[in-house]
Amino acid sequence: MTRRAEEKYDLAYYILKFRGYSACMIWACITSEQKGPLVILEGKVNGDVYRKQVVPVIYRFRKGIQNPILMEDGNSIYTAKDTQKLHQQYNGLHLLYMT
């Protein structure tokens, strides 16, 4: 990229870099008939956070839905053994992981 000398302080020519930024994860779900809840998780999201804050929301939302399928990517927080055990305890979902 090139710029003229008078454009030196024009923000259009800067690439912002964030140091010490905080992370966030947004989890949401939909069906063919309705939108589900939106869960916003701030900070580092690991398997424990996912199991405590998202998994209960999944199972509250799925009540009344026939043959529900939970489709998630292959992230380790979804595929962890503890998460799989929790899904087995709740029961009632077909799990599908996209890779």
pLDDT tens, 15-44? 767 666 667 889 999 888 889 999 999 888
Q: What residue spans define the domains of the chain? A: 21-98
Task: Write the DSSP assignment of 49-96 as a string of letters.
Answer: HHHHHTHHHHHHHTTT-SS-EEEEE--HHHHSHHHHHHHHHH---EEE
Q: Residue 50's pLDDT is what?
A: 94
pTM of the model: 0.71
